[in-house]
Each structure stands twice: as C-alpha cells, then as structure tokens.
Amino acid sequence: MDLRALTELNEKRRAIQPLLSPTDPTDALVSYYALWHDPRRTQLTVHYDARRKADGFLAACQTGADLFRPLVVLRAPDQAVAVELLSTALTPLRPYLILVPVALAPAVRETMELTRTTWARLYCLDPSRFEPVINVLVQRVASTEGTLRFQIESQGQIMAMAGTNWHSPRFAEVFVYVHPGGRERGWGKSVVSACTAALLEEGLQPLYMAEEGNEASVRIAEGLGYTDTGWREFIAEGRTRG
C-alpha cells in the first residue's frame, strides 16, 4: 500500500469517527472494520451530506476467514444513502458477506442477489455476572493470526473451540464452534469461558453474537453472564447485481 493511498484512507477514517461511539458495543464491530482493520485489506467509501460532512460509509474488508469474499459493514442515515453506497462501492457480480443494522436490510435486498440471510443478537459481557468455568481439558493454543484460541481435543479431533474474530483497543468478539460429537457436555461453555477470562485479563470488553435460532449459542452466552444489548445485526450472503 503506497503512502498516498494510506493517507487517503486515514483521512476518510477521521471523517467518519464522529459517526461512531468508541464506548458503545453496538458500534464495536463496524468500528473495528472501518477504523482498525488492516489498511492494506480495507476499502472505505464515505458518503457526504450537502454540507460536506460525512453522514454514512461502507467498509469492504478482506479477512482471513474468506480471502475471496470481502466482509462489508455499513452505516447510513437512510435507505437511499445505503443503496447509493452499496451500488457505488461494491464490484458488480462479486460475492460478499454483509453485516448491517436490521433497519438497513431493505437496502441490501434491493442491491444484492442473496443466497442466505439471517440476523444475530449482540451480547455484551456483564463482568459482575461472569463466573468462570474451570475445565482441565481446555487448552490454549497459538493461532497464525495471533488471536486468542482455546480448544478441547479428543482422540486427535477438535471437539470445541473458542477464540476472537477481531479485537479493537476496547472490544473483542468471541466465537465458538462445537463438533456434533462434543455437544451436550458443556464443552462449548468451557472454551468460551476460558476465552472470556483471557479477554478480561487483557482489559478488553468481550462481545458475543448469536445467530437467529441458535438456542445452544444463546444458552452459552447467557450462562456466562453475557447480556442481550437489544441490537440486531442483519447478515446476508450473496453477490451484487450486474
């Protein structure tokens, strides 16, 4: 990434900072990808109002989870601005994974050919309610990205794993995976507990997203002291229209 491109990106990031709260967990995910994600893998498009003040933006980011399908986050004051950003910032016919506030879902449906949609609840840990689960089977392992990983193995198979999808200076989002053979044993809760405790030690605020209908995920979150913020994120997979 050359100096000119980096300078331009940093100017855009400064322009959108007033649109985001550094302490609000409902802004944490979009803030990470728009403000903190690797600049070499971040394309930021800003929308300006009639007074030339930023009033919306779209960030398309390449992530380690899927190098060929960028992750897109968006903020806009209304559907019209959201449609404009989606239509101008994204490459026609390219696949994307999009996360936007539920209120902006109609704009995504208008501009994308979608193959899967769902929504997720955002949970934020209440440290006063957190009671760590001690399980000697949980192992901390190194990850290639340098992020947190905790897992339980059985006969060479990973049966449960938790870690962080991303972390900013204040927040971190926890993920969990449980192998079908490892369910109903409390292993998912054990690895999430270990990851949560490690984040608290680092001074970060743990967040957790549970997709619609995933009651097992909800039970893990609520059982460890995560509380529902009331925020709902619309998640869509598909490609832009030609």
pLDDT, one tens digit per residue, over 134-183 is 999 999 998 767 788 999 998 889 999 999 999 999 999 999 999 998 88
**pLDDT given for residue 109 in this prediction:** 97
Instruction: Measure the CA–CA gap between 216 and 214, rounded to whole angstroms.
Output: 5
What are the boundaries of each domain within the chain?
Answer: 3-121+233-240, 127-224
Q: Please tell me whether residue 25 adopts helix, strand or coil conformation.
A: helix
Mean pLDDT of 32-61: 97
pLDDT in tens, 65-75: 787 899 999 99
3-state class of 53 per DSSP? coil
Domain 127-224, architecture per CATH: 3-Layer(aba) Sandwich (3.40)
Q: Return the CATH architecture of domain 3-121+233-240.
A: 3-Layer(aba) Sandwich (3.40)
**207 beta partners:** 124, 173
**Once rounded to an integer, what is the mean pLDDT over residues 99-117?**
97
Report, as an integer, the average pLDDT of 11-26. 98
Residues 211/118, Cβ–Cβ less than 8 Å: yes
3-121+233-240 and 127-224 share one CATH topology?
Answer: yes
Residue 87 confidence (pLDDT) above 90: yes
Output the CA angle 180-184-187, nearest 5 degrees: 85
Q: Which helix (H) or strand (E) holds 74?
A: strand 66-75
By three-state DSSP, how is residue 143 classified?
coil
